[in-house]
Chain A
C-alpha cells in the first residue's frame, strides 16, 4: 500500500524571471488575491495612445474656457493623428504657439477661440498646425 505517491507536476518547471524588488516571499498564508493580481491603473497610458508622438503642454490663458480648458491645465498633443475640422489643435501662428478649435468657414480654415472677447485667427501661409489635442489633465487639489 502506498501512503505516498509521486505525481507528475502538472506544469513545466522553467526558470522564472522574478520582478526586481517587487515580489517578496511571504512566510505566512498566501494571499487569496494572488492569482487575480492586476496592474494598478495607469492614467498616463489611458491619456496617451502613442507616447512617441505625444507631447504634454501646459495651457496659459483663457480663450478656451468654453471648451472646458482652463489656465494651468495640461494637454496631451499628438503629432501622429491627422487634424480634422472640429479638433482642438496646437498651431504655430507667426512662430507663436497657440491652441484653438479648427473650423472651416466661407471656404477657408480658422483657428477659433471658445470664450468671450477673443477673435478667430485665419489659417494663413505662415500658420503651421503642430498637433492635435487628444487629452486633458487637471488636478483639483495638490
Chain B
C-alpha cells in the first residue's frame, strides 16, 4: 500500500518573517501581495481579528491600524530560501519528495511504512522546527488527495496535535464525514455547486459516488479524485520515451544588464519565444535551463556565469509556466555587481504534446491552451511581442512597490541579520 504524507508549513510567510524578527512574535501580522495589494498570509492573531485571505489592504487599513496589525510586503527571496531549507530538513524522512507549492511538500513514506508514522512525522516536524524555526502540520494517507485532506484535519482539529494519520479506515471515515466537499482539494466552486444539488455535501459522500457518475458529472479529474478518496492512487502516468532533443533561444544584449529586472525582462522574452517554438512544433518540455554570463573578454570586469536547470512538472509548453521557471532560475543564479552581456533559455526533455505524461490536478489545461493559442495568434498577426505577460516588461525602469519588505536575511551578505554583542 502506498503511504503519502503532506507536510505543510503553518502561516508560512509569517513564520519566515518571524524567524528573523522577534518583534513579530505574538502580535497580528499580515503579509501583502506584490505591490502591497492584498493580504496573502496572516498570523493566527490576524486571522482572529477577521482578516481574510485576499482582503485588499487599502480597504481594511483602518481596522489594521486600530489593532496594531503589522503589515509586511512579500519577501520572496526569503520565502524561497527558507523553502529550500524546509525541503532539506524533511528529505531524510522520506523515500521521495515532491514539492507541491512554496509551503507544501508531498513525501513518499512507503519505505518507513512499518514504523510508528506519527512518531516519524513528529521527528520530521521537530527537525524542520529546529533547522528553520518554522512550525508545520503533517497529514498521512494512502493517496495524495487523502493526504491533503488529512493535513487540513491536522491543522484544524487540535485532537490530532499536528499529525493526522488517516491510514486507519475508521478514523478516515470519521474525518471524511465531517469534511465539507467544497474544501476537498481539486473541487472547484462550480463542481461543489453541482455536487450540492445531488446532495453531496461531505468528502465522505463524494467518496461514495459511483466512478461513472463522477465522470458524467465533472470530468476525468473528478473521477480520479473520487478514486483517490477511496484510497486508490491515481498515478496515471503513461510511460513515454521522451525524444531527448532540445531547443534554445539565446542572444547577446546591446547594453549590459546590471540589475535583475532588466535581465529578467530579456530572459522573459526568450522564454516566451521558446514557448512559441514549442507550441508550433506541438511539443512540451520537461526541463528548462536559464543561463547568463558576463563578457568573458572583458577580463578587468568581475566575471560570473550563472545557470540553473529547472524541472517542469507537469511537462508544459505554457509560456507562463516557462516564464515562472525562468524567473526562479534567474533569481537563484543572479549575483549583484556584475554586467551581464548574454543570456539564454534552453528547453529539453521534449515530447509530443499529446504523449505528455499526465499528472493529477494540473488545473484547467484547456483554458490555458486556448490562452496560449490566442497569444500566438495575436503575436503572429500584429507582430511578435504585441501581447506579453507583464513580467516581460513594457519599458525598463519598472519597479515593484514593496514599501515594507524585510531584508533578504538569508541570501544577501549586505542584508544578513545583525547580532548585538
Q: Give residues in A with beta carbon < 8 Å to B.
A: 20-22, 50-53, 55-64, 69, 71, 74-75, 77, 79-80, 90, 92, 95-100, 113
A51, A55, A62: the one within 8 Å of B417 (CB): A55
Q: Is B410's CB within 8 Å of the partner chain A?
A: yes
Known: A74-B413, A92-B22, A95-B23. A53 touches B421 (CB 8 A): no
Cα-based distance from A20 to B182 in the complex (angstroms): 47
Q: A52-B131, A58-B416, A79-B131 are in contact. List 19 more A-B contacts (CB 8 A).
A: A20-B307, A50-B131, A53-B85, A55-B410, A56-B410, A56-B413, A56-B416, A57-B416, A57-B419, A58-B417, A59-B418, A69-B421, A79-B132, A92-B22, A95-B23, A95-B25, A97-B22, A97-B417, A98-B421
User: Cα distance A63–B416 when bound, in Å?
Assistant: 20
Name B346's closest neighbour in chain A (CB-CB).
A20
Q: Is the CB of A60 within 8 A of B418?
A: yes
Instruction: Evaluate contact between B410 and A60: CB separation under 8 angstroms.
Output: no
Name B61-90 residues within 8 Å CB distance of A: 84-85, 88-89
Assess whether A97 is in contact with B293, with CB atoms less than 8 Å apart. Answer: no
User: CA separation between A93 and B339, bound complex, in Å?
Assistant: 43
Task: State the CA gap A57–B22 with chains docked (Å).
Answer: 15
Q: How far is the CA of A58 from the CA of B133 in the complex (A)?
A: 19
**Contacts known (A20-B291, A80-B131, A95-B23); A52 close to B419, Cβ less than 8 A:** no
Are B88 and A52 in touch, CB under 8 angstroms?
yes
Cα(A77)–Cα(B305), bound, Å: 29
**Closest CB in chain A relative to B87 CB, distance in Å:** 8
Task: Tell yes or no: B143 within 8 A of A by CB.
Answer: no
Contacts of A71 in B (CB 8 A): 421
Q: In the complex, which residues of chain B have a beta carbon less than 8 angstroms from the beta carbon of A77?
A: 419
Flag if B416 contacts A60 (CB, 8 Å).
no
Q: List 10 A-B contacts (CB under 8 A).
A: A20-B305, A53-B89, A55-B417, A57-B416, A60-B420, A79-B132, A79-B133, A98-B419, A98-B420, A98-B421
Convert B399-421 into 0s and 1s, putting 1 for each residue whose CB lies closer than 8 angstroms to a CB of A.
00000000001100100111111
Whether the Cβ atoms of B84 and A52 lie closer than 8 Å is yes
Known contacts: A52-B88, A79-B131. The answer to whether A62 contacts B307 by CB under 8 A is no
Q: Does B130 contact A (CB under 8 A)?
A: yes
**Binary CB contact string for chain B from 280 to 304 against chain A (1 if under 8 A, 0 otherwise):** 0000000001010100000000000
Query: Closest 10 A-B residue pairs measured CB to CB?
Result: A52-B88, A61-B421, A53-B131, A95-B22, A52-B85, A57-B419, A60-B418, A56-B416, A99-B419, A63-B421
Question: From B82, which residue of chain A is reached at the shortest CB distance?
Answer: A52
CB pair B307–A21 under 8 Å, yes or no, is: yes
Please determine whether B307 and A60 come into contact, CB atoms closer than 8 angstroms.
no
Query: What is the CA–CA distance of A56 and B410 in the complex, to the nearest angstrom?
Result: 7
Minimum CB–CB distance for B293 against chain A, Å: 6
Give bound CA distance, A63 to B84, whole Å. 34
CA A105 to CA B132, docked complex, whole Å:
30
Contact of A21 among B131, B293, B409, B419 (CB under 8 A): B293
- Distance in Å from the Cβ of A47 to the closest Cβ of chain B? 13
CB distance from B322 to the nearest CB of A (A): 18
Closest B residue by C-beta to A52: B88
Q: Please measure, in the bound complex, the distance between the C-alpha atom of A93 and the C-alpha atom of B31, giving whole angstroms.
A: 26
Contacts of A80 in B (CB 8 A): 130-131
Q: Which residues of B lie under 8 Å from residue A62 when comparing CB positions? A: 421
Return chain A residues, CB-CB under 8 Å to B131.
Answer: 50, 52-53, 79-80
Min CB distance, A16 to chain B, in Å? 14
Please name all residues of chain B whose beta carbon is closer than 8 Å to the beta carbon of A95 when the two chains form the complex: 22-23, 25
Instruction: Give the residues in chain A near B409, CB-CB below 8 Å.
Output: 55
Would B417 and A21 count as touching, CB distance under 8 A?
no
CB distance from B316 to the nearest CB of A (A): 22
Query: Do A99 and B305 form a contact, CB below 8 Å, given A52-B88, A55-B410?
Result: no
From B130, B305, B419, give the contact of A58 (CB < 8 A).
Answer: B419
Q: Which residues does chain A contribute within 8 Å of B413, judged by CB atoms?
A: 56, 74
Q: Given A74-B413, A80-B130, A95-B23 in contact, is the A58-B89 Cβ separation under 8 Å?
A: no
> What's the minimum C-beta distance from B126 to chain A, rounded to whole angstroms?
12
Q: Which residue of B lies closest to A53 (CB)?
A: B131
Given contacts A21-B293, A55-B410, contact A60 B85 (CB under 8 A): no
> How far is A64 from B291 in the complex, measured between Cα atoms in Å?
43
Q: In the complex, what distance in Å separates the CA atom of A99 from the CA atom of B292?
A: 40
Given A20-B307, A52-B88, A74-B413, CB of A59 within 8 Å of CB of B419: yes
